[in-house]
């Protein structure tokens, strides 16, 4: 668990009187924890930050990929190798061997984002300045594994990045810094993740030096405002006509690339882009009807027009192209097309 909850991290009292923009006389040894592509901009910032000496990168192990079974590195591990940084890839972070090798680096600070394993309390306590977690939401909203899809699915008008000092809870540590981002209501998860990754790395660049000098004080989160997210499952991607068309349109944008949003028709149909439109007289929820030059799923409130789709095993195409190739997919009355 995190020591000095809510306090600053200053490593020496003598640094408190210095300007926030003044580099530390001696860079703080730092370890970065990350695996996915979201962490690459932060890794690159730390590698060039005069306030830190990046003594190690902890990432997921290489895994077999493709039919040939050749090993493939996760994005952060691949970038660390390109930068010539010391790389550790433990199977289990909480194993005694992994803990010993990380502690032996003698780092004062850890920075974590998109890593993929729970950090044990023994490791949290090993860093004098704590471990800072770069979380892609405005905490305490959307704690947990899938904050970016949750923001889109929830119709949030803003998102952002929060930098917290990790404790032994799930994204519950005190807030060191945050930056907001207004949403347009058209973002997909990959697009929003890229924007938040850039915001997060810039936030780390501005924050790490002042944090190390004790110029920042972390503030506790308001647990009463907390919401939780969970890992997504394949079945979450099913487009349920019992939900509103507006909700399903947000789902299509939120659940990219995983688990995707799909309809079960004569073939599984993956939906990449859609739009919500009002219901028409005689619409029956669950039917597939013609809507202009494309198909639409009738829901309990509105129609979900299928703008870009992909039949299982086939290429991506417009909804109009789908109907031209499969004229029996729907009838103008919606009487034959049924999703499940």
Question: Model's pTM, two decimal places?
Answer: 0.91
Does a structural domain hold residue 39? yes
Chain Cα centroid distance, residue 139: 13
CB 171 within 8 A of CB 133: yes
Specify the pLDDT at position 4: 36
Q: What is the pLDDT of residue 258?
A: 97
Total domain count, the chain: 2
Task: Answer yes or no: do 83 and 153 share one domain.
Answer: yes
Q: In the structure encoding, which two tokens stand for residue 302, read together?
A: 């509105």
In this structure, the answer to whether residues 180 and 130 fall within a common structural domain is yes
Q: At what angle do helices 40-48 and 189-212 cross, to 10 degrees?
A: 30
Same domain for 292 and 215? no
CA dist 211 and 119 (Å) reads 21
Tell me if 245 sits within 8 A of 277, measured CB to CB: yes
Does 256 fall in a domain? Answer: yes
Cα–Cα distance, 198 to 153 (Å, whole number): 22
pLDDT score of 17: 35
Q: H or E stretch including 209?
A: helix 189-212
Residue 32 shares a structural domain with residue 81: yes
Same domain, 224 and 255: no
Give me the CATH number covering residue 97: 3.40.50.170
**Domain extent for 31:** 13-228
pLDDT tens for each residue of 240-275:
999 999 999 999 999 999 999 999 988 899 999 999
pLDDT at 72 > cutoff 70: yes
Q: List CB contacts of 216: < 8 A, sequence separation 6 or more.
A: 8, 9, 176, 177, 207, 210
Q: Report yes or no on 63 lying in a domain.
A: yes
Indicate the residue among 228, 257, 278 that finishes a domain.
Answer: 228
The total of other beta-carbon atoms located within 10 Å of residue 24's CB is 17
- Residue 183 belongs to some domain of the structure: yes
pLDDT recorded at residue 111: 98
Q: Within this chain, do residues 201 and 296 fall inside the same structural domain, yes or no?
A: no
Same domain, 270 and 172: no
For tokens 């049924």, what's the residue? 338
For residue range 278-303, what is the model confidence (pLDDT) as tens digits? 999 999 999 999 999 999 999 999 99
In a domain, 1, yes or no: no
Domain boundary among 228, 259, 292: 228
Which of 203, 228, 253 represents a domain boundary (last residue)? 228
In a domain, 161, yes or no: yes
Task: Report the distance separating Cα 42 and Cα 46, nearest Å.
Answer: 6
In angstroms, how far apart are the furthest CA atoms of the chain? 77
Same domain, 160 and 117: yes
| Residue bearing tokens 């003698």 | 106
113 and 246 share one domain = no
Tokens of 161: 């990045």
CA distance 198 to 37: 11
169 shares its domain with 296: no
| Residues 147, 132: Cα–Cα separation, whole Å | 17
pLDDT score of 147 more than 80: yes
């Amino acid at each position: 668990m995190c020591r000095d909850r809510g306090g600053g991290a200053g490593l020496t009292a003598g640094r408190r009187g210095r300007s926030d923009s003044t580099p530390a006389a001696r860079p703080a040894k730092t370890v970065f924890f990350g695996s996915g592509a979201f962490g690459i901009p932060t890794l690159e910032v730390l590698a060039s930050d005069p306030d830190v000496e990046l003594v190690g990168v902890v990432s997921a192990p290489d895994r077999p990929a493709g039919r040939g079974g050749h090993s493939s590195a996760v994005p952060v591990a691949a970038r660390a190798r390109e930068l010539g940084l010391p790389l550790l890839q433990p199977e289990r972070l909480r194993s005694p061997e992994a803990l010993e090798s990380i502690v032996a680096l003698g780092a004062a600070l850890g920075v974590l984002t998109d890593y993929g394993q729970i950090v044990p309390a023994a490791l949290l306590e090993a860093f004098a300045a704590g471990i800072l977690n770069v979380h892609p939401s405005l905490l305490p909203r959307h704690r947990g594994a899938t904050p970016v899809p949750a923001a889109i699915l929830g119709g949030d008008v803003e998102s952002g990045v929060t930098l917290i000092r990790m404790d032994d809870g799930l994204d519950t540590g005190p807030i060191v810094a945050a930056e907001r981002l207004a949403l347009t209501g058209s973002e997909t998860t990959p697009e929003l993740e890229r924007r938040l990754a850039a915001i997060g790395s810039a936030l780390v660049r501005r924050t790490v030096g002042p944090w190390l000098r004790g110029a920042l004080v972390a503030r506790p989160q308001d647990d009463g405002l907390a919401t939780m997210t969970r890992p997504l499952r394949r079945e979450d991607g099913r487009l349920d006509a019992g939900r509103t068309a507006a909700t399903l349109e947000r789902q299509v944008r939120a659940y990219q690339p995983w688990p995707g949003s799909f309809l079960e028709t004569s073939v599984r149909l993956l939906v990449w882009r859609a739009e919500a439109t009002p219901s028409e007289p005689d619409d029956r929820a669950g039917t597939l009807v013609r809507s202009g030059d494309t198909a639409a799923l009738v829901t309990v409130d509105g129609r979900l027009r299928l703008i870009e789709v992909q039949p299982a095993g086939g290429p991506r195409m417009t909804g109009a192209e789908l109907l031209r190739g499969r004229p029996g997919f729907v009838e103008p009355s919606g009487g034959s097309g049924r999703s499940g």
